[in-house]
Structure 1
Amino acid sequence: MAAGAQQPSIVPTELEQQIFGRLLDVVHHGGLGTQLRVAGGWVRDKLLGKNSTDIDIALDDLTGKEFCEKITDYYEKVISHELKTPCVIPCKPGQSKHLETAKIILSDISDITIDFVNLRSEKYAENSRIPTAEYGMPEEDAFRRDLTINSLFYNINTNLVEDLTRRGLEDLKKGLIVTPLPAKVTFLDDPLRVLRAIRFAARFSFTLAENLKEAASDEKVKLNLRSKISRERIGQEVDHMMSGKYPVDAMCHIRDLGLFYIVFAFPEKTVPPVLDKHDWYVHVLICN
């Protein structure tokens, strides 16, 4: 965003205000200094004028489990309302869960599941897409994310949108798909982010940045996508693309970036099926 430009704001719905207010009550009751930031998709969607119930809270000084324990303690002592025990999801690096996440429902207010996780930084080994995750500062957490449009925060304590990569808001305004760090570095660290970039480009009819397309087409990135990412994870991303409004756009991006035979590769030692006339037509349409 250019210097002097007006900072965009988010006006939470009445229900969201209730939820955020309750979380701040927990902070104040516990004498905590915790900053509560809604991260990623909710912020992006609200700025695009879309509704979202995907509330992910990033914490600066507590784990998700620790903060959920503060919530349940507050409910027990102040509200006299018993919450269901928070669901704690342990690290599952193979499924892209690199840090423990806690989930809770403020059942006296809504049935929305709220996720809590601490801010983090990530470091990748050369031969793995599974990072070593550590506590991080807000800016470190923003830069380790896949795309600038997904790196924005909404600080509940201050009611301000935070653009710590200093280009997320501008890219959202322009409809541009860009990585916070150099695209090739980002994709070599985690090649699955190539497909996430394609998915979001198709979902919002946004434009893939030229340096991102160059990086996604790089032969080493393609090799890593083939060798580092399981067929299951690739399939999940394709499912998201196909269930969106513009699946053809996603398939065209995959074709244009030279990724078709990687994304839709047959398993090794499997004889490709014989395609009927209709299948051949679809195959030719996509691949040419």
Structure 2
Amino acid sequence: MEADPPPQQQRCVEVRESLELTEKEGRIFRRLLDVVRHFVLGTQLRVAGGWVRDKLLGKDSTDIDIALDNMTGQNFCEKVNEYSELMGEEQKGIGVIQCNPDQSKHLETARMLIFDVWIDFVNLRSEKYAENSRIPTVEIGSAKEDAFRRDLTINSLFFNINTNSLEDLTGRGLEDLKKGLIVTPLPAKATFLDDPLRVLRAIRFAARFNFTLTEDLKEAASDEMVKSELGSKISKERIGHEVDLMMSDKHPVNAMCYVRDLGLFYVVFAFPAKPDPPVPDKCDWFCASHIEVAWNLAHLIGCSVFSGGSDSKLQDEHRRLCWYSALFTPVRNTVYLDKKSKKVHVANYIIRDSLRLKVSDADMVVNIHAASEKFPEIISLMESNENLATVKEILDDEYLKIPTELVNRVLAGLLLREIKDFWRVALFISILSYPEVDNASDSLVQQDELHRRKETYIRIERSITDLELDGVWKEKPLLDGRAIMGVMQVKPGPIIGEWQQRLFKWQLVHPKGTMDECIEWMKQSQSKRQKLE
């Protein structure tokens, strides 16, 4: 992870003079031109937006959006299929995403596979607004009209397939790209009121590329009318998708700091009514400070925090959910009552209901927070054996006595069985949060404190791996519930769950124990149980 430059530092970005097509891109574009020529469509084909921007920045991109000047995307896709049939090729399915003006989705988009690459097709458009209306009349427009209706100048560039040339129809897309500026082609406030989601897109691209938001754009993004429209006009799913892209990207901290600084935090992360305890006045600052400190601490520790073996997708999930967990650490103990008067964590509500992300994401963040609050006891034991006797007394029962030297292993093993693969993330959040501080931005950012916490994390992680607990949750119980009933001569009921938990502790004490040894221990326990009864 690279250290981020100051958000307002204007950059000089290396931009290529021309676009270099890959072999597959050239093949796709030649096929599209063949369709135009064969049916004499007279269509100008332009690749729009992100693909052009990324190619100029020397980055690979498969996000190819084709803008058409004289027909709809669906009609053109049908022509592509018609041509494929003439060539003796299999026709492809066409997906159509309808426009939804109420949610600022003004364009119908058609999508299909061409040479195993998904291509989106949409017509160039112009937009006209009736008086006192925020929903435009959308018509096929010129390329210049379309360019000026784009969200940002760096996304308004076209690559004209017909002429094999770059088109900068706003007159400043290339220049802004070279200067690293995030600017809207038209006045920022009007652009954001047209589609308020563009505020979050501007933040996302500024964070991704370490580009600078211009002052007029920041002023428009902070406008109360724009914030109101973002909260009421844009679906939670679209907001959540943008936020998730930020958190999955390379610089989530920059994005969250922009969200905070522009006064958008409570719009994006809508809290439930009547949280308990009440959300503090500067909660947005506390949350942003925590993810910033988490970023700095993770940078010191290295990638082991997100270790997922060789599974890169699992590592990405660890990283993404770690940032959400860090962001919402200040409200980890804040709850609210749902419609069934059940206490629900606020972090769960924000992720599940405000952002409409996966329920499993919300549950995992809550689980990470819960495990992070249990880790201090393990850290204390491993660092100083503090409260060892008390912990041993809690773990012991009349049927299983935990050897003193194995109390650490049993306690940590029980917690890892709950949090599983995410135990390193939970340990990291625990190290981030404990000992508690009044103001993370004042205290934790000090390098000496960060280094102390880094060393603690490394020591505890090493201790847990030395105890051979990494993956302990994958170990199968030596006896299942039915076998336990047979050995203990009991009927189904809560007692089976109690013995399954006790069995797991026995296996933690006896990592090389056999089924026969386990059965012998349980038979002795059964005899003791009968005497106690």
**TM tier, shorter chain?**
0.7 to 0.9
Are 1:61 and 2:65 an aligned pair? no
Are 1:70 and 2:79 an aligned pair? yes
Matched to 2:275, the amino acid is V
* Matches of 2:74 and 2:98, distance apart in 1: 10
* Matches of 2:154 and 2:104, distance apart in 1: 19
Q: Which moved more, 1:56-65 or 1:67-76?
A: 67-76
> Per-residue displacement from partner, 1:36-95 (whole Å, max 9, x unpaired)?
000111001000100001111000011111111211111112x11122232222223455
In the alignment, structure 2 segments of 5+ residues that lack a partner are 1-14, 278-330, 334-372, 374-432, 442-533
2:107 to 88, 99, 103: 99
1:31 to 27, 37, 40: 40
More helix by share: 2
Deviation at 1:271, TM superposition (A): 2.9
* Matches of 1:180 and 1:61, distance apart in 2: 23
Residues 172-211 of structure 1 correspond to what in structure 2 (within 5 A)? 172-211=177-216
**SS of the counterpart of 1:170?**
helix
Q: Which has the higher contact order (CA 8 A, sep 6+)?
A: 1
1:234–1:125: structure 2 CA closer, same or farther, 3 Å change rule?
A: farther
2:89 to 81, 90, 112: 81
Partner of 2:448: none
Partner of 2:236: 231
1:52 to 55, 61, 65: 61
Contact 1:143-1:151 within 8 A present in 2 as well:
yes
Deviation at 1:223, TM superposition (A): 2.5
Matched to 2:95, the amino acid is C
* Matches of 1:283 and 1:176, distance apart in 2: 36
**SS of the counterpart of 1:266?**
coil
Deviation at 1:97, TM superposition (A): 3.4
1:263 to 237, 261, 268: 268
**SS of the counterpart of 2:51?**
helix
**SS of the counterpart of 2:260?**
helix
* Matches of 2:438 and 2:169, distance apart in 1: 43
1:138–1:285: structure 2 CA closer, same or farther, 3 Å change rule?
A: farther
> Per-residue displacement from partner, 1:145-197 (whole Å, max 9, x unpaired)?
11001111000000111011000000011110000001111122222211110
Asked which structure has the greater CA Rg, the reply is 2
Contact 2:103-2:235 within 8 A present in 1 as well:
no
**SS of the counterpart of 1:51?**
coil
* Matches of 1:282 and 1:63, distance apart in 2: 58
In the alignment, structure 1 segments of 5+ residues that lack a partner are 1-5
Matched to 2:109, the amino acid is T
1:189–1:235: structure 2 CA closer, same or farther, 3 Å change rule?
A: same
1:275 to 332, 337, 343: 332
Partner of 1:147: 152
> Per-residue displacement from partner, 1:100-138 (whole Å, max 9, x unpaired)?
2211212xxx31011111101123567776433211110
1:226–1:125: structure 2 CA closer, same or farther, 3 Å change rule?
A: farther
1:185–1:91: structure 2 CA closer, same or farther, 3 Å change rule?
A: closer
1:126–1:219: structure 2 CA closer, same or farther, 3 Å change rule?
A: farther
**SS of the counterpart of 1:181?**
coil
Deviation at 1:7, TM superposition (A): 9.4
**SS of the counterpart of 1:157?**
coil
Q: Which moved more, 1:255-264 or 1:245-254?
A: 255-264
More strand by share: 1
> Per-residue displacement from partner, 1:21-41 (whole Å, max 9, x unpaired)?
111111111112110000111
2:22 to 13, 17, 34: 13
Contact 1:104-1:114 within 8 A present in 2 as well:
yes
Deviation at 1:236, TM superposition (A): 1.7
Deviation at 1:275, TM superposition (A): 3.4
* Matches of 1:285 and 1:111, distance apart in 2: 49
Are 1:164 and 2:173 an aligned pair? no
Partner of 1:115: 120
Contact 2:104-2:195 within 8 A present in 1 as well:
no
Contact 2:68-2:122 within 8 A present in 1 as well:
yes
* Matches of 2:196 and 2:135, distance apart in 1: 11
State the identity as a percent. 71
Partner of 1:3: none
Calculate the TM-score normalised by the size of structure 2: 0.49
**SS of the counterpart of 1:33?**
coil
1:7–1:15: structure 2 CA closer, same or farther, 3 Å change rule?
A: closer
Deviation at 1:96, TM superposition (A): 4.6
